[in-house]
């Protein structure tokens, strides 16, 4: 209860502060030392994080690596430390802390901020010329954020009830079909979600597909992979892997997943044991 109250207080003090010049001095005074010390934005993140990889892909596409420093949340005690919770009461990564102390959590918020703040550098990644194209990007992103991210842990977390894991895997299979439908809309112009140019929607989806491709194929018996009967998603996946920045993010996330393999994570969290139970459906 005390922890909740203190993180709520932290939220009032730090979270969603307005970035206007008028309150900047007051904001700086209230800032945690870690934020005040930085001379450029800090992205708290680790290589395996799919939500963080979405922001890294934006950075790579827009060539912002020198403009943003990436730090492991462990450098300030980890996601649940007092210092980190003061910056993001949700205790999740990624988190972008600006030099004036404004702390921005949520990968889509960070992605859009990076695109807005660096509109003059690299590709726009925010389809400008058509409301329909922007809506399709928003739709792909919303389906991912609303229906996939909250349940993605069924692929690699535990312990959890076997029913919860099985229901989650079925739900992921359904969402793969929903996203295939979204991919069809601009498929003729492809290869990206909204046509010929990459966007924040591609950045949102791709790292999560790396997780799904890895976990579902290797641990849940999806022998034909996640693209069987999903040709538009497969075409998009191949284009993303062929993209230089996409390939870089693939290697980062995949490298993290291989470390999980080496550490026996899927056995430890109960995935391996659950999938042995043939009374549930695991492969779709």
Ligand X SMILES: N[C@@H](CCC(=O)N[C@@H](CS)C(=O)NCC(=O)O)C(=O)O
CA angle, residues 99, 70, 109, in degrees to nearest 5: 70
How many residues touch ligand X under the rule CB under 6 A: the total is: 12
Instruction: Decide: 210 and 254 in contact? Cβ < 8 Å.
Output: yes
Q: Which is nearer to ligand X, 61 or 211 (CB)?
A: 211
- Tell me which stretch binds ligand X (CB under 6 A): 3-11, 88-96, 192-200, 228-236: 88-96
- Name the residue nearer to ligand X (CB basis): 185 or 212: 212
Q: Can you tell me whether residue 101 is helix, strand or coil?
A: coil
Among 17, 56, 62, 92, binds ligand X (CB under 6 A): 92
Q: Is 144 in the site for ligand X (CB under 6 A)?
A: no
Q: Are 182 and 133 in contact (CB under 8 A)?
A: no
Of positions 7, 51, 175, 200, contacts ligand X by CB under 6 A: 51
Residue 258 tokens, joined:
């291989």
Distance CA(51)–CA(204), nearest Å, equals: 7
For ligand X, the closer of residues 155 and 185 by Cβ is 155
Interaction of residue 7 with ligand X, rule CB under 6 A = no
* Contact residue for ligand X among 79, 98, 121, 171 (CB under 6 A): 79
Structural element, H or E, at residue 71:
strand 69-71
Which listed residue (7, 88, 107, 199) binds ligand X by CB under 6 A? 107
Task: Select from 7, 50, 88, 233 the one that contacts ligand X (CB under 6 A).
Answer: 50
Nearer to ligand X, 106 or 232 (CB): 106
CA distance 233 to 227: 7
Per-residue burial over 125-150, b = 16 or more CB atoms within 10 Å of its CB, e = otherwise: bbbeeeeebbebbbbbbebbbeebee
Q: Tell me if 111 contacts ligand X by CB under 6 A.
A: no
- Binders of ligand X among residues 146 to 185 (CB under 6 A) are 149
Of 235-274, binders to ligand X (CB under 6 A) are: none
Tokens describing residue 161: 């009830």
Cα–Cα distance between 267 and 284 in angstroms, integer?
21
Stretch that binds ligand X, among 86-94, 163-171, 174-182, 246-254 (CB under 6 A): 86-94
Q: Does the protein bind ligand X through residue 49 (CB under 6 A)?
A: yes
CB atoms within 10 A of CB 38: 15
Cβ proximity to ligand X, 94 vs 158, nearer residue: 94
Q: What mask of x and - would describe binding to ligand X in positions 28 to 47, judged by CB under 6 A?
A: --------------------
Phi first, then psi, for residue 69 (nearest 5°) are -100, 135
Among the listed residues 64, 93, 148, 226, the single contact to ligand X using CB under 6 A: 93
Report if residue 106 touches ligand X, rule: CB under 6 A: yes
The kind and range of the H/E element at 69 are strand 69-71
Q: Does 208 bind ligand X (CB under 6 A)?
A: no
**Which token pair is 245?**
């920045």
Distance from CA of residue 43 to its chain's centroid?
A: 13
Q: Which residues bind ligand X (CB under 6 A)?
A: 49-51, 79, 91-94, 106-108, 149
């Amino acid at each position: 209860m005390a922890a909740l109250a203190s993180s709520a207080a932290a939220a009032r003090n730090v979270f969603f502060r307005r970035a206007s010049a008028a309150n900047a001095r007051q904001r700086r005074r209230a800032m945690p030392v870690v934020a005040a010390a930085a001379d450029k934005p800090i992205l708290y993140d680790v290589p395996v994080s799919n939500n963080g990889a979405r922001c890294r892909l934006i950075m790579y596409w827009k060539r912002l690596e020198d403009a943003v420093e990436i730090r492991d949340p462990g450098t300030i005690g980890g996601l649940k430390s007092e210092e980190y919770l003061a910056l993001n009461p949700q205790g999740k990564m990624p988190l972008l802390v600006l030099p004036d102390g404004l702390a921005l959590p949520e990968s889509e918020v960070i992605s859009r901020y990076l695109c807005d703040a660096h509109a003059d550098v690299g590709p726009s990644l925010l389809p400008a010329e058509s409301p329909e194209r922007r809506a399709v990007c928003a739709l792909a992103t919303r389906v991912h954020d609303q229906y996939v991210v909250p349940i993605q842990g069924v692929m690699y977390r535990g312990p959890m009830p076997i029913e919860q894991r099985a229901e989650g895997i079925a739900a992921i299979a359904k969402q793969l079909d929903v996203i295939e439908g979204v991919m069809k809309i601009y498929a003729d112009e492809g290869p990206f979600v909204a046509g010929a140019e990459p966007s924040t929607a591609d950045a949102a989806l791709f790292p999560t597909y790396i997780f799904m491709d890895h976990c579902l194929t290797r641990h849940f018996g999806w022998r034909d992979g996640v693209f069987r009967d999903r040709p538009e998603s497969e075409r998009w996946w191949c284009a993303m892997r062929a993209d230089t920045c996409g390939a870089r993010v693939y290697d980062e996330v995949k490298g993290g997943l291989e470390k999980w393999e080496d550490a026996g994570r899927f056995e430890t969290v109960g995935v391996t044991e659950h999938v042995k139970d043939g009374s549930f459906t695991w492969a779709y």
